[in-house]
Chains A and B, each alone.
Chain A
Amino acid sequence: MRSFSLIDFASLFIALRWTVALVVLALLFGAPLALGLAMGRISRFAGLRWTTAALIQVIQSVPLLGLLFFFYFGMPVFLGIQVPALVAVTVAYTLYTAAFLGEIWRGGLEAVKQAQWEAGACLGLSAWQQFHHIVAPQALRLSLPPTVGFLVQLIKGTSLASILGFVELARAGQVVSAATFQPLLTYALVAAIYFALCLPLTLWSRSLEARLDGSR
């Protein structure tokens, strides 16, 4: 047994890079996929609407832990090749992010009145221009609070990757606590770091909301 030292403190911060890396990977791949799912959900084509709705339903209904296990143990079985754990974890977090963000953004898109699309069309804009310049910016503002809410969920959700061997913040906390026998101090510190990570996001979201809505 040793006392809590600067090294333990440092090891928590070093572990933070996995937390951040997992969030970045999830957003990097998950956000574009979420946009695709959201657009599929409001598509003119019924087949596409049903497929994306089913996909979202399935992913949302499975616990994140289940997704992680499924891809970690499942991918080698289904694909017949050994994939690095990072790939399996990235796939799981990507789908998780895509399903939840996709549904949040769909709500935002649908909250923008149909007449806004129409007004754009009547001015000779293409469907993409209507989306990009008229509907998406309004939908984004409406979706911002739940989007950031989900982001905070995602940050905390990365702690589950520890069960697959990733020494991210939560797992590092376990290790440090075991080494120092100072669980209270250690986990308080871990919690503080999570808090410090999420608070700026919420603040940033508020300022962005105000900025996107210059008229109010």
Chain B
Amino acid sequence: MALVEIRNVHKTFGKVEVLKGVSLDVEEGEIVTIIGRSGSGKSTLLRCINALESVDSGEIRVEGQKVHAKMPGLKKFRQRVGIVFQAFNLFPHLKVERNITLAPLLTGRIEKAKARALAEDVLTRVGLADKIDAWPEQLSGGQQQRVAIARCLAMAPHLMLFDEVTSALDPELVGEVLKVMEAMAKQGMTMILVTHEMGFARNVANRIVFMHQGRVWEQGPPARLFASPETPELASFIASAK
């Protein structure tokens, strides 16, 4: 059984059908990168996986459990599936430490006495141990995004979703975030990313999924997909992304 099973998922916003029958399996430990043009449904699919959006038809299962916004145990489920956003979404009124420890403390994952150690641990993993007492706005975009990743890691998720996490960053800050993600990939974290970073998709992912017009248009290992795309749509997307 795959960790994530997506079966014939449809999703409509108003009159626009964003997902038109998407099916996709992601195995444990896999790094899957979803690429495609704006409006192809990539981000929506990602948001459906952790029930930020509900699917109209079809189904998504994670660890065998059917996912939707009114599922039983939604809060527990979300603790197992981390998501990192384009806009970081750190809590600006809390210091870095509290940003990280708030959810583990409130959900009873850890005791108060161990909170700071947990924050130190996950911050070390993203290379920001020295920023534990900083305010979010004192950090650069790249650092904020790494704190957001650390905040997710503190929940010890089984699966991590990344929604264009480098798109809002200055070019010189992209690398530090990708490096953190690469390290997580090496440690065996299952990851699904929506990204425009073709280099990262090529070098780190096990599999590339090209979405086009709300469908999975083409997928396969990065080497083959980039070298010999089967569809003209992917070929033109690769050409334009260079």
- Which residues of A are in contact with B by a Cβ distance under 8 Å? 113, 115-116, 118-126, 129, 133-134, 137-138, 141, 212-216
Contact = CB atoms under 8 A, between A and B. Distances in A.
B52 A121 contact: yes
A140 B66 CA distance: 38
B36 interface: no
Interface in B40-57: 50, 52
A138 B78 contact: no
B151 interface: yes
Given A116-B89, A123-B155, 5 more contacts: A119-B85, A124-B155, A129-B106, A138-B91, A215-B138
A216 B92 CA distance: 11
Please indicate which of the listed interface residues A116, A118, A124, A126 has the most CB atoms of chain B within 10 Å of its own CB: A124
Interface of B: 50, 52, 75-79, 82-83, 85, 87, 89-93, 95, 102-103, 106-107, 135-138, 151-152, 155
The 3 closest A-B pairs by CB, nearest first: A215-B135, A123-B103, A124-B79
Contacts of A215: 92, 135-138
Contacts of B135: 214-215
A125 B103 contact: yes
B106 A125 contact: yes
Nearest to B161: A122
A215 B131 CA distance: 13
A125 B91 contact: no
Contacts of A129: 106
B136 A122 contact: no
Contacts of A216: 137
Contacts of A138: 91-93
A126 B103 CA distance: 10
A126 B74 CA distance: 10
A122 B78 contact: yes
A37 B83 CA distance: 33
Given A115-B85, A133-B102, A133-B106, A123 B91 contact: no
A119 B87 CA distance: 10
Given A215-B135, A215-B138, A121 B78 contact: yes
Contacts of B75: 124-126
Nearest to B137: A215
Chain A interface, DSSP helix/strand/loop, else mixed? helix
A149 to B, nearest CB: 22
Contact of A122 (B83, B87, B90): B83
Contacts of A122: 50, 52, 78, 82-83
A212 B94 CA distance: 10
Contact of B93 (A120, A121, A137): A137
Nearest to B104: A123
7 contacts: A123-B78, A123-B79, A124-B75, A125-B75, A125-B103, A129-B106, A138-B91
A116 B91 contact: yes
Contacts of B103: 120, 123-125
A122 B138 CA distance: 24
A210 to B, nearest CB: 13
B93 A141 contact: yes
A120 B151 CA distance: 11
B89 A118 contact: yes
A9 to B, nearest CB: 45
A88 B91 CA distance: 43
A215 B82 CA distance: 27
A125 B79 CA distance: 9
B73 to A, nearest CB: 10
A122 B151 CA distance: 11
A124 B92 contact: no
Contacts of B151: 123
B165 to A, nearest CB: 13
A113 B92 CA distance: 11
